[in-house]
C-alpha cells in the first residue's frame, strides 16, 4: 500500500446509495488514497479496525493519515472470530481510553467479518459515530460493506445482535484484493451469483460465458461483476434500509446458509454455506411451483464452476431446521424463505410446511 500513488487513477465508478443517510460507494484502483478525503471534516481521531492479514495495509493507512488525524489501530481476531461481543468490547475499551468523541470515525479494513464488526462498533459507540468501510474481500466489496447491516454472532446463531447503521462512505479499492487467496475470492462470488439470480441475469451470463475470466481479478469482466453486484445491493437498500420488506430478497439462500455456518461453528466460509443455501432455495422454489428445473440445474452448475459446494449431509436436517427457527425473517414461529418465480423475480414464501422443506433438502442432502 505504501507504494501506491497519492492520487487514484481516474477510472472511478461512483455508485450512490440513497435514503435517509445517503453515501457513495467508490470503485476503482488506488482508492486508498481517497480515504483521507472521505473522513468527516471534524474527525480528529480515527480507529482502524483490521484483521491480522491486513496489518501491513493498516500500518500504511496510519502513515498516510497521520498528518491529518490521530490514527489508532485495533487488530482483531481473523474472520468470524471478530464477530464476538468480547471483540466489540475490546474496541470500545480502546475508544474509551482514548476519549474517542462523536465527531471521530471508525475505518473497517478487511473482509465482511471485519466490516460487520467495525460497523457495529461504530453504531454503538456513543450511540453512533461515522464508519468508513474499506472492504478487502470480494464478498465485502459486493455485499457486506454496503448497506449498513452491522452485527456480531451469539452462541445461538449468526448476526443475532446488530444495528442498521449506514456507512459514511465505502471505498472499494480493487488493488486491495492483490493478496486475497483465490479460494476466498471464489467464496465471495457466491454473493455475486445471488445478485444474478435475484436481480441481474447478465451477471449469470458473464459467469457462464467464461468463469476463468470472470474470476480473474485483473479482468474487466470481473470489475463489471463487482460493480453490477454493488448496484443490485445499492438499489435494494436505498429503497428499504431497515428491511421492512424488499430488502429480504438479499437473504436469498441465507436461511439454510446461516444454519450451516452455525452447525459448522463458523469455520466455513459464508459464501460456501450460502452456496448450498441457494441450491436449497432453488429446489424449494421449484417445489413451490414457481421455478423451472432448468434454473435449479443452472444454480448448481454456476456454483460448481466456482468450485463452491452444492450439497450437505442429509443427516443434519433436524439440527439445521432447529437453527433456522431463529432466522430473522421468521414471524410468530413461522419460517419464511426467499424463493424465485424466475430469474430476477424473488418473493417471500410463507407458511411452508416441514415436509416440503425436507423434500427440498433431500435434493441437497448427500
Ligand X SMILES: NC(=O)c1ccc[n+]([C@@H]2O[C@H](COP(=O)([O-])OP(=O)(O)OC[C@H]3O[C@@H](n4cnc5c(N)ncnc54)[C@H](O)[C@@H]3O)[C@@H](O)[C@H]2O)c1
Ligand Y SMILES: O=C(O)C(=O)C[C@@H](O)[C@H](O)[C@H](O)COP(=O)(O)O
- CB 99, min distance to ligand X, A: 29
Active-site residue identified among 258, 262, 300, 336: 258
Grid coordinates of 302: 454456476
For residues 273 and 261, give the distance between their C-alpha atoms in angstroms, rounded to a whole number.
6
Task: Tell me which residues touch ligand X (CB under 6 A).
Answer: 51, 53, 78-80, 83, 110-114, 116, 136-137, 139-140, 143-144, 147, 149, 159, 176-177, 179-180, 184, 187-188, 191, 269-271
Which residue pairs, CB below 8 angstroms and at least 24 apart, start in 126-130? 126/100, 126/101, 126/102, 128/102, 128/165, 129/100, 129/101, 129/102, 129/103, 129/104, 129/105, 130/39, 130/40, 130/43, 130/104, 130/105, 130/106, 130/167, 130/168
For residues 229 and 209, give the distance between their C-alpha atoms in angstroms, rounded to a whole number.
17
Query: What 8-state DSSP symbol labels residue 13?
Result: E
- CB 346, min distance to ligand X, A: 16
Measured from the CB atom, the residue of 147 and 309 that comes closer to ligand Y is 147
Is 45 noted as a catalytic residue in this protein? Answer: no
Name the residue with cell 505504501: 2
Is 243 noted as a catalytic residue in this protein? Answer: yes
Measured from the CB atom, the residue of 106 and 145 that comes closer to ligand Y is 145
According to the binding rule CB under 6 A, does residue 251 interact with ligand Y?
yes
According to the binding rule CB under 6 A, does residue 136 interact with ligand Y?
no
Grid coordinates of 234: 445499492
According to the binding rule CB under 6 A, does residue 231 interact with ligand Y?
no
Is 233 noted as a catalytic residue in this protein? Answer: yes
According to the binding rule CB under 6 A, does residue 254 interact with ligand Y?
yes
- List 34, 173, 184, 191, residue binding ligand Y (CB under 6 A): 191
Residues in the chain: 366
Measured from the CB atom, the residue of 34 and 243 that comes closer to ligand Y is 243
Task: Assign 11 to helix, strand or coil.
Answer: coil
Is 258 noted as a catalytic residue in this protein? Answer: yes
Per-residue x/- track, 318-337, ligand Y (CB under 6 A):
----------x---------
Point out which span in 17-25, 246-254, 293-301, 307-315 binds ligand Y (CB under 6 A): 246-254
Measured from the CB atom, the residue of 80 and 327 that comes closer to ligand X is 80
Is 345 noted as a catalytic residue in this protein? Answer: no
Selection from ligand Y, ligand X, none that 136 binds (CB < 5 to 8 A by kind) is ligand X
Is 168 noted as a catalytic residue in this protein? Answer: no
Grid coordinates of 4: 501506491
Selection from ligand X, ligand Y, none that 110 binds (CB < 5 to 8 A by kind) is ligand X
**CA distances in angstroms from 211 to 65, 100, 264, listed in the order given:** 38, 46, 28
**CA distances in angstroms from 331 to 22, 123, 158, listed in the order given:** 30, 26, 17
Q: Are 203 and 233 in contact (CB under 8 A)?
A: no
Measured from the CB atom, the residue of 27 and 278 that comes closer to ligand Y is 278
Tell me which residues are annotated as active site.
127, 149, 191, 233, 243, 247, 251, 254, 258, 270
Amino acid at each position: 500500500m505504501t507504494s501506491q500513488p497519492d492520487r487514484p487513477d481516474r477510472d472511478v465508478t461512483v455508485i450512490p446509495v440513497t435514503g435517509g443517510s445517503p453515501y457513495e460507494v467508490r470503485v476503482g484502483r488506488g482508492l486508498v488514497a481517497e480515504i483521507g478525503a472521505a473522513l468527516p471534516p471534524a474527525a480528529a481521531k480515527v480507529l482502524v479496525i483490521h484483521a491480522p492479514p491486513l496489518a501491513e495495509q493498516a500500518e500504511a493507512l496510519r502513515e498516510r493519515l497521520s498528518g491529518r488525524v490521530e490514527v489508532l489501530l485495533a487488530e482483531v481476531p481473523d474472520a468470524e472470530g471478530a464477530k464476538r461481543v468480547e471483540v466489540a468490547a475490546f474496541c470500545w475499551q480502546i475508544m474509551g481510553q482514548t476519549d474517542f468523541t462523536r465527531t471521530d470515525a471508525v475505518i473497517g479494513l478487511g473482509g465482511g467479518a471485519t466490516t460487520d464488526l467495525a460497523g457495529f462498533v461504530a453504531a454503538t459507540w456513543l450511540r453512533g459515530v461515522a464508519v468508513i468501510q474499506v472492504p478487502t474481500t470480494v464478498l465485502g466489496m459486493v455485499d457486506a460493506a454496503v448497506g449498513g447491516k452491522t452485527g456480531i454472532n451469539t452462541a445461538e446463531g449468526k448476526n443475532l445482535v446488530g444495528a442498521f447503521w449506514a456507512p459514511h462512505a465505502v471505498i472499494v479499492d480493487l488493488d486491495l484484493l492483490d493478496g486475497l487467496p483465490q479460494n476466498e475470492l471464489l467464496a465471495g462470488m457466491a454473493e455475486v451469483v445471488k445478485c444474478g439470480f435475484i436481480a441481474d441475469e447478465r451477471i449469470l451470463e458473464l459467469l457462464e460465458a467464461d468463469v476463468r475470466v470472470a474470476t480473474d481479478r485483473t479482468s474487466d469482466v470481473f470489475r463489471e461483476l463487482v460493480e453490477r453486484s454493488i448496484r443490485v445491493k445499492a438499489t435494494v437498500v436505498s429503497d428499504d434500509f431497515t428491511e421492512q420488506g424488499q430488502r429480504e430478497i438479499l437473504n436469498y439462500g441465507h436461511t439454510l446458509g446461516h444454519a450451516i455456518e452455525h452447525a459448522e461453528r463458523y469455520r466455513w466460509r459464508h459464501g460456501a454455506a450460502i452456496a448450498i443455501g441457494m441450491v436449497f432455495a432453488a429446489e424449494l422454489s421449484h417445489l413451490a411451483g414457481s421455478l423451472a428445473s432448468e434454473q435449479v440445474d443452472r444454480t448448481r452448475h454456476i456454483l460448481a464452476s466456482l468450485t463452491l459446494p452444492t450439497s450437505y449431509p442429509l443427516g443434519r436436517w433436524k439440527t439445521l431446521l432447529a437453527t433456522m427457527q431463529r432466522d430473522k425473517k421468521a414471524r410468530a414461529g413461522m419460517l419464511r424463505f426467499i424463493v424465485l418465480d424466475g430469474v430476477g423475480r424473488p418473493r417471500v414464501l410463507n407458511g411452508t410446511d416441514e415436509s416440503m422443506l425436507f423434500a427440498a433438502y433431500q435434493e441437497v442432502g448427500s
